[in-house]
Amino acid sequence: MPSLFVIRGNDQGARVEVDATPFSLGRDTDASFQLHDTEVSRRHAEIRRAGGSYLLVDTDSSNGTFANGHRVVQHTLNSGDQLQLGGTVLLYTQPAESSATRRLLNVNIIGQAEPVDGSRIVSSISHEEGSRIFAAGQLTPWLARARNNLQVVYDTALAVSHTLDIDELLRRILQLVFDSVDVDRGCVMLIDADTGRLEPKAYLDRADSPGGETIRISQTILDYVLETREGVLTSNAVEDDRWDSAASILQLGVREAICVPMQGRYDVVGAIYIDTTTPAADAIRRPGVTRLGDDHLKLLIAIAHQAALAVEDTRYYSAMVQAERLAAVGQTIATLSHHIKNILQGVRGGSYLIELGLTDHDEEIIRKGWDIVEKNQTKISNLVLDMLTFSKEREPDLQETRLNETIADVVELMQTRAADLEVRLTWSPDESIPMLILDPDGVHRAVLNLVTNALDACDSVDDPLVEVATRWCPDDGVVHIIVADNGVGMSSDEVERMFTIFVSKKGGRGTGLGLPVTHKIVHEHGGRLDVETEPGQGSRFVIELPATLPTGITQPHTTAASPQADSRPFSLDELADLESLHGDDAGEFDADTGPGSDFPEDE
């Protein structure tokens, strides 16, 4: 059965079998193979069966279908073709045999004492020599072609191997062997780190394989391969014409096998074994014809070497990920404990003042203490909300929102803090912003974090000023929320690290959660966060959100009704219509608190 392997694109590493035709490729969820690529059309192309071959047919895609670099409308597929749809590149493989269904089977490693099937080594090639096929050299056409295909798939396999577990990786490698070499059965064995013995990890065979369901591999041959680090080609056929006298051939046919070491950077990590069986009748008809040769042996040595590198990489990577994860958990706990400890310290301070005030009957001290308690209560609530926002994979809770009200709410909430810090906080809404579909709580949080940072940033400058504004950009179908300050600004190093969780340039005042949370919320809205800043020159953050209008029109310039659809997607009348359409909903929002308030309690 032909298969497709994604070499490049969002689906990189995905492999799919063309199990039924027509086989559709596209962005649609019900395509036979869904490609997650915005440049791919919903129904981009199809693979159709035409007699004994397969055809690639472009189904009126917007960006065209390419085979081996040429744009095609229809193309007869050959194994090894590279197909490009949008930004996605796929490798097409079609095994020589059509009946290539594979299933799992058993592997037995036969001890030295047991009789084997009369196989002996007919050829052996060292690991070093075998690996040379990836260097330029004189190759037979078959080997050259196989090498080229393999190179592509290797690069991909190595690129994706970091995300895979080893068993999945081995399964793919074996699949790769089956796609390249006409063999009946194969297995990959890895050396168990504890016992030092080879353990079968992945096995495949073709459904109609005459070899039987159990692979029997001679321990003698395995030992030879592991000790000498040579790949071997074995056969139970004898060299001279007396082959028919070998009893095992009459029973089993001619079995040719290749067994190669998986030589990694330092050690042999395992072995790959493949075999083919020619039924006795065929073997008798064509004596001396072999199905496996030195080319196959060389290729398999090279595959095994790459596989060993990938196994090593995956092992190192797993160990590293594990270590990093533990370190990250430790750091998270340490950082959160630290913040909570500081907040607790604040609460204790407030309580202590209240206690003093009560002892002295001094209401002013009680008030001071209470303010501190309240301030720390806000801090812990912000910390918890930021933690929740950051930790959860959440979809924005989209609803009709008057963006200006949400932002006005943030500004109002922060005025007290601005006054404490003696920072001027101004607010200039763009009144032409229509009702938008947004997550008001999310946007509130995102902007709150920016304003908090802006206020802290201009703590120690002359005439400190924080400006908050909104801007409606109907031509681009986006809305901007701008938070600018004339504070300390950031160096390029600091800009680079600003979205790194728990990295705060505010020392004890910052949690290092604010900007990562803002970034996450903006990203969840499909928007972007830009910053212009220089040390000493202040910072200007711009949140750009795609303007989704309540009518379900995602891109305003798709409205056909507008007479100047290209330059001005909405006339003021149309905007007014949109507003009035949703006038009922608008009544639900209280003008004072707005829809996005995290702190709905009355002041």
Partner 1 sequence: MARSRRVLIVDPSIDSREVIRTALERQGVAVFEADSARRGDELMRRCHPDLVVVDGEIDGYSAGDSCAAWDTAGDIPRVVLGRIKGAATGDRQLSKPYQYSQLIRTIGELLGTHSGAQRPAA
Footprint of partner 1 on this chain (CB under 8 A)? 341-342, 344-346, 348-350, 352-353, 356, 360, 365, 368-369, 372, 375-376, 507-509
Give yes or no for a contact between 551 and 581, defined as CB atoms under 8 angstroms apart: yes
Q: Provide, rounded to whole angstroms, the least separation between the CB of residue 17 and partner 1.
A: 60
Min dist. Cβ of residue 453 to partner 1 (A): 17
Nearest approach in angstroms of CB 336 to partner 1 is: 14
As beta bridge partners, residue 98 has none
Cis peptide before 396 (omega within 30 of 0): no
Pairing of the two strands 82-85 and 65-67: antiparallel
146: which residues sit within 8 A by CB, 6+ positions away? Answer: 180, 181, 299
CA dist 89 and 105 (Å) reads 33
Min dist CB 507 to partner 1, Å, is 6
Q: How far is the CB of 345 from partner 1 (least distance, A)?
A: 5
Amino acid at position 546, single letter: P
* CA–CA dist 160, 172 (Å, integer): 11
For partner 1, the closer of residues 6 and 365 by Cβ is 365
**Euclidean distance between CA atoms 402 and 526, whole angstroms:** 18
Closest C-alpha to 468, from 511, 518, 422, 430: 430
The least CB distance from residue 461 to partner 1, in Å, is 15
Closer to partner 1 by Cβ: residue 367 or 523 = 367
Shortest reach from residue 349's CB to partner 1, in Å? 4
Extract the tokens encoding 25. 């490729």
Q: How far is the CB of 536 from partner 1 (least distance, A)?
A: 17
Name the residue nearer to partner 1 (CB basis): 52 or 507.
Answer: 507
- Report the SS3 class of residue 230: strand
Nearer to partner 1, 87 or 349 (CB): 349
For 62, phi and psi rounded to 5 degrees?
-70, -40
Task: Provide the minimum distance between the beta carbon of 460 and partner 1 in the complex, in angstroms, as a whole number.
Answer: 9
CA neighbours closer than 13 Å in the CB half-sphere of residue 312: 15
Q: Which amino acid is at 49?
A: R
Residue 87 vs 346, nearer CB to partner 1? 346
Phi and psi based region of residue 196 (left: phi greater than 0; alpha: psi -120 to 50; beta: remaining): left
Within its chain, how far is the Cα of 127 from the centroid?
Answer: 34
In the bound state with partner 1, the residue whose beta carbon lies nearer, of 344 and 581, is 344
Q: What's the rounded Cα separation, in Å, for the pair 533 and 541?
A: 8
Nearer to partner 1 by Cβ, of 345 and 555: the residue is 345
Secondary structure (3-state) at 502: coil
Mapped onto helix, strand or coil, the DSSP state of residue 213 is: coil
Sheet holding 539-546, edge to edge: 424-428, 465-473, 478-485, 539-546, 528-533
What is the secondary structure of 9-66 as a DSSP string? STTTT-EEE--SSSEEEESSTTSSEE---TTS-TT-EEEEEETTEEEEEE-S-SS-EE
Minimum CB distance to partner 1 smaller for 95 or for 346? 346
First to last CA, the chain: 70
Cβ atoms 40, 85 nearer than 8 A: yes
Between 316 and 352, whose beta carbon lies closer to partner 1? 352
Which are the contacts of 552, defined by CB distance < 8 A and separation ≥ 6? none
Which of 542, 540, 544, 541 minimizes the C-alpha distance to 527? 544
DSSP 299: H
For the CB of residue 360, give the shortest distance to partner 1 in the complex, in Å.
7
Q: What is the largest CA-CA distance in the chain?
A: 116
Least Å from the CB of residue 524 to partner 1: 33
What CA–CA distance (Å, rounded) separates 291 from 183? Answer: 9
Min. distance of Cβ 447 from partner 1 in angstroms?
24
Query: 345 or 580: whose CB is closer to partner 1?
Result: 345
Minimum distance from CB of 427 to partner 1 (Å)?
25
Comparing CB distances to partner 1, the nearer of 6 and 366 is 366
Q: Which helix (H) or strand (E) holds 185?
A: strand 185-191
Which one, 366 or 498, has the nearer CB to partner 1? 366
Rounded to a whole number of angstroms, the minimum distance from the CB of residue 557 to partner 1 is 50
What order do you get walking across the sheet with 3-8 strand by strand? 15-17, 3-8, 88-93, 82-85, 65-67, 70-72
For residue 447 the two structure tokens come to 């902007």
Identify which of residues 59 and 342 has a Cβ nearer to partner 1 in the complex.
342
Nearest residue (CB) to partner 1, 409 versus 456: 456
Q: Nearest approach, Cβ of 371 to partner 1 (angstroms)?
A: 9
Phi, psi for 500 (deg, rounded to 5): -80, 125
Q: Whose CA is closest to 500, among 444, 490, 381?
A: 490
Nearer to partner 1, 350 or 434 (CB): 350
Upper half-sphere CA count for residue 139 (Cβ side, 13 Å):
20
